């Protein structure tokens, strides 16, 4: 029988902190270093915590083991407050507002510790580091707010859940799918499955004789089946170089297009050494600096992406990787991910990890069922339209005795309500009359649009956004259906109005003035 | 021409490009014809061919993760 145990409040370095009695692993080194860099001082330990994910793992596997595993976990909450003890916690639980606010302000996240000696890290959500780089912000669209309830109070942390693979119920790719389905993009209508649910779903129709538990590994086909079983559509992308490796531009642009849309990216590939494959889940990236684009050329804004943040079950959450072009141990070159802590990490707190570079070969992404066009095709169409529009504008430039310019484009998927609200507010928020005019035109003059739209955005480097083109995501890639194009500049309209109206309507959709 | 602001992001800090293109842009009948032709021109396929890579089902079925 379980017995009642008190909440414990101890210093992070106190031997009573449950982290300090775990076996030394890469995960422990990374998480400890991450928390130290966040300024952790104290921990609050719930010694009895029933974790939904572990209960599911227990029910599917550990309950039948002769080892007699308990079904209960510990949950550790981390704080950066100058002072924390039981009295402070009691005052917070009594809803003393100032104390509660301070607890929330200094809350860094939580770790569930499973009763599994070799893989103790269960569901873990840690706060992101403050983003100090305003020029190249961190894009963490898949993150969501998690609520932790302790004795009637609620603590909130923004992040996305990570856990360690246990190889009993979940392999690295299972954990990646599990993180993927935690995304903010899926908040509205879907329950988050446990890792046991994912492994069972992977075996439902693609098992081909392999046993379900213990689960050491899954094939890419099984992973996609698991995504389908949970009501989503799996999108797969293969590398474009020999050995199945990716070019830098394709890896960066594809990951960015999904991540901007709130979809984490499961990256399958191999380490730079012989052995089986590995999977990690990209959950964010740092926006690249603008690429140089020569006059008359069009560049892919996200093609220059350099930094990816991933959940790697071999390391931990929010792991920073640099994307580089490297040769593998066979001399074949492709995009590789190299673990690189950020510059602001204190050297003495940097985890010393022996981690070989990782070569991605396949991307798998769970998207909404109704999103049917591929990001690859959106990039191809975006490139083609940017080239044509740029070519047209440059004709007018040259005839007006002006120097021709280059153009940039970027793509993403977005829910239509979010485009109307957030996206248009970002770009037109300081012009309320134009914002209203644009929203009303989209609502009243454009035929009914799909719930998700593909957006191709075109800009001039070092200047501003010229045009958004909204694609129907419910049609086929081949049909290339567009709903509308939003024109942000009067002079662009001068150029576009020179196109025959039926052609303009077919290629760019209904024109909407946003100036 | 609006050049004073560097729009590093095309999304979360993007700015509408009003004034980005010179107002004095001329579109003569001859230019109009060239603009029409621009929409019949395709870019160099090499610059985007990476995005036309088909999914490699065969190798996906072989590897485990």
Q: How many CB atoms lie within 10 A of CB A505?
A: 15
Task: Kindly report the number of other CB atoms within 10 A of residue A506's CB atom.
Answer: 13
Q: What is the mean pLDDT of residues A195-215?
A: 87
Q: Closest partner residue to B35 among A289, A462, A499, by Cβ?
A: A499
pTM: 0.94
pLDDT at B14: 75
E-assigned strand segments in A12-132: 42-49, 73-79, 107-113, 121-126
What is the pLDDT confidence band of residue A350, given thresholds at 50, 70 and 90?
confident
Q: Which residues, listed in sequence order, are joined to residue A91 by a DSSP beta bridge?
A: none
The C-alpha R_g of chain B, in whole angstroms, comes to: 21
3-state secondary structure A305-339: CCEEEEEECCCEEEEEEEEEEEECCCCCEEEEEEE
> What pLDDT does residue B7 have?
47
What is the distance between the alpha carbons of residues A388 and A395, in angstroms, rounded to a whole number? Answer: 11
Give the pLDDT band of residue B1 (cuts 50, 70, 90). Answer: very low
Residue A86, CA atoms < 13 Å, CB-side half-sphere: 4
Q: How confident is the model at residue A44 (pLDDT cuts 50, 70, 90)?
A: very high
Give alpha helix (H) positions in A106-187.
Answer: 172-180
Average pLDDT value for chain A:
93
Report the pLDDT value the prediction gives residue A188, as an integer from 0 to 100.
60
Q: What is the largest CA-CA distance in chain B?
A: 61
Q: Report how far apart the first and last C-alpha atoms of chain B are (Å, whole number).
A: 52
Smallest Cβ distance to B51: which of A239, A298, A376? Answer: A376
CB proximity A491 to B under 8 Å:
yes
Q: What is the pLDDT of residue B24?
A: 80
Least confident of A338-342, B9-13, B38-42: B9-13
Burial A204-222, CB ≥16 within 10 A → b, else e: eebeeeeeebebebbbbbb
Contacts for A233 with CB less than 8 Å, ≥ 6 apart? A227, A366, A367, A368, A369, A371, A372
Q: Cα(A513)–Cα(A490) distance, rounded to whole angstroms? A: 8
Q: Is residue A183's pLDDT more than 50?
A: yes
Contact A38, A129 (CB under 8 A): yes
Q: Which residue has the higher pLDDT, A168 or A512?
A: A512
What separation in angstroms does the CA of A142 have from each of A102, A161, A467?
27, 10, 26
Of B10, B16, B65, the CB nearest to A173: B65
Chain B residues in contact with A466 by the CB 8 A cut-off are: 17, 20-21
Report the alpha-carbon distance of residue B28 to residue A320 in Å, rounded.
52
Structure tokens belonging to residue A34 = 């991450």
* pLDDT tens digits along A414-426: 999 999 999 999 9
pLDDT surpasses 50 at B21: yes
The token pair at A179 is 């993180």
Distance CA A260, CA A142 (A): 8
Interface contact B52, partner A, CB < 8 A: yes
Q: How many CB atoms lie within 10 A of CB A97?
A: 9
Which of A324-338, A378-392, B27-41 is predicted least confidently? B27-41
B58 in A contact zone (CB under 8 Å): no
Is residue B2 predicted with pLDDT exceeding 50?
no
Q: How confident is the model at residue A329, as a pLDDT?
A: 92
What pLDDT does B8 receive?
57
Q: Report CA A399 to chain centroid distance, whole Å.
A: 45
**Lowest mean pLDDT across A15-24, A339-348, A360-369:** A339-348
Q: What is the mean pLDDT of residues A19-44?
A: 95
Q: Which strand ranges, in their side-by-side order, compose the sheet holding A407-415?
A: A298-300, A407-415, A452-459, A465-472, A482-487, A510-513
A219 touches chain B (CB under 8 A): yes
Task: Tell me the two tokens of residue A462.
Answer: 């070092």
Q: Which of B51, B53, B60, B62 to mutate to test the interface with A (most CBs of A within 10 A)?
A: B51
Q: Quick one: tokens of A198? A: 């994912």
Chain-chain contact of B54 with A393 (C-beta, under 8 angstroms): no
Distance between CA atoms of B16 and A487, rounded to whole angstroms? 9
| Greatest mean pLDDT among A155-159, A354-358, A499-503, B56-60 | A155-159
- Please report where in the chains the tokens 């669209």 appear, as a residue: A141
Q: Which residue has the tokens 């979940």?
A: A170
Half-sphere exposure of A316 (CA within 13 A, CB side): 26
Detail the DSSP E strand segments found in A369-503. 407-415, 452-459, 465-472, 482-487
Q: What is the pLDDT of residue A5?
A: 97
Q: What is the pLDDT of residue A212?
A: 87
Q: Average pLDDT for residues A228-235, to the nearest whole number?
A: 94
Put simply, the answer to whether B7 touches A427 (Cβ < 8 Å) is: no
User: In this predicted structure, what is the pLDDT of residue B4?
Assistant: 35
Distance CA A392, CA A165 (A): 53
Q: What is the pLDDT of residue B6?
A: 43
Q: Is B63 an interface residue toward A (CB < 8 Å)?
A: yes
Angle B29-38/A375-399 helices, nearest 10 degrees?
160
pLDDT tens for A236-272 read: 999 999 999 999 999 999 999 999 999 999 999 999 8
Q: Does A234 score more than 90 pLDDT?
A: yes
The reply to whether residue B50 touches residue A488, judged by beta carbons under 8 angstroms, is no
pLDDT for residue B59: 83
Q: Does A72 touch chain B (CB under 8 A)?
A: no
* Across A178-207, average pLDDT: 87
Is residue A477 predicted with pLDDT exceeding 90? no
Residues in chain A: 515
């Amino acid at each position: 029988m379980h017995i009642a145990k008190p909440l414990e409040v101890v210093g992070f370095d106190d031997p009573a902190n449950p982290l300090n009695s775990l076996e030394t692993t890469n995960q422990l080194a990374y998480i400890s270093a991450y928390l130290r860099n966040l300024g952790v001082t104290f921990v609050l330990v719930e010694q009895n915590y029933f974790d939904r994910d572990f209960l599911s793992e227990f029910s599917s596997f550990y309950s039948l083991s002769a080892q007699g595993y308990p079904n209960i976990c510990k949950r550790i909450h981390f704080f950066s407050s100058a002072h924390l003890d039981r009295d402070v916690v009691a005052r917070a639980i009594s809803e003393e507002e100032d104390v509660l606010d301070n607890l929330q302000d200094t809350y860094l996240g939580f770790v569930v510790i499973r009763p599994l000696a070799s893989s103790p890290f269960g569901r873990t959500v840690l706060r992101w580091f403050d983003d100090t780089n305003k020029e190249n912000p961190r894009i963490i669209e898949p993150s969501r707010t998690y609520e932790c309830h302790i004795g009637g109070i609620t603590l909130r942390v923004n992040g996305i859940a990570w856990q360690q693979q246990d190889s009993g119920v979940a392999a690295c790719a299972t954990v990646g799918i599990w993180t993927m389905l935690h995304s903010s993009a899926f908040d509205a209508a879907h329950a988050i499955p446990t890792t046991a649910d994912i492994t069972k779903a992977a075996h439902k129709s693609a098992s081909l004789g392999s046993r379900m538990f213990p689960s050491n590994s899954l094939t890419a086909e099984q992973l996609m089946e698991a995504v389908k079983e949970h009501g989503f559509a799996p999108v797969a992308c293969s590398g474009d170089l020999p050995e199945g490796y990716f070019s830098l531009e394709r890896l960066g642009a594809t990951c960015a297009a999904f991540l901007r849309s709130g979809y984490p990216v499961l990256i399958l590939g191999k380490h730079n050494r012989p052995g089986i494959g590995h999977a990690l889940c990209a959950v964010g990236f740092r926006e690249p600096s603008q690429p140089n684009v020569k006059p008359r050329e069009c560049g892919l804004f996200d093609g220059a992406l350099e930094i990816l943040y991933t959940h790697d079950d071999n390391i931990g959450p929010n792991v920073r990787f640099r994307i580089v072009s490297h040769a593998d141990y066979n001399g074949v070159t492709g995009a590789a991910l190299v673990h690189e802590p950020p510059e602001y990490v204190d050297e003495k707190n940097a985890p010393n990890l022996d981690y070989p570079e990782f070569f991605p070969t396949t991307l798998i992404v769970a998207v909404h069922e109704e999103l049917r066009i591929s990001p690859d095709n959106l990039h191809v169409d975006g490139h083609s339209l940017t080239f044509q529009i740029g070519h047209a504008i440059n004709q007018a430039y040259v005839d007006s005795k002006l120097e021709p310019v280059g153009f940039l484009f970027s793509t993403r998927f977005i829910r239509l309500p979010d485009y109307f609200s957030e996206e248009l507010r970002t770009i037109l928020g300081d012009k309320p009359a134009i914002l209203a005019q644009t929203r009303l035109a989209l609502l009243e003059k454009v035929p009914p649009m799909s719930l998700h739209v593909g957006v191709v955005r075109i800009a001039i480097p070092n200047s501003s956004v010229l045009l958004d083109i909204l694609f129907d995501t419910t049609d086929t890639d081949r049909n290339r259906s567009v709903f509308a194009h939003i024109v942000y500049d009067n002079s662009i309209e001068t150029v576009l109005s020179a196109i025959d109206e039926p052609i303009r309507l077919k290629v760019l959709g209904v024109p909407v003035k946003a100036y | 021409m609006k050049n004073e602001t560097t729009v590093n992001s095309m999304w979360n800090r993007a700015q509408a490009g009003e004034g980005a293109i010179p107002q004095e842009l001329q579109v003569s009948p001859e230019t109009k014809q060239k603009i029409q032709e621009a929409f019949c021109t395709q870019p160099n396929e090499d610059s985007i061919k990476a995005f036309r890579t088909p999914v490699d089902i065969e190798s996906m079925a072989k590897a485990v993760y």
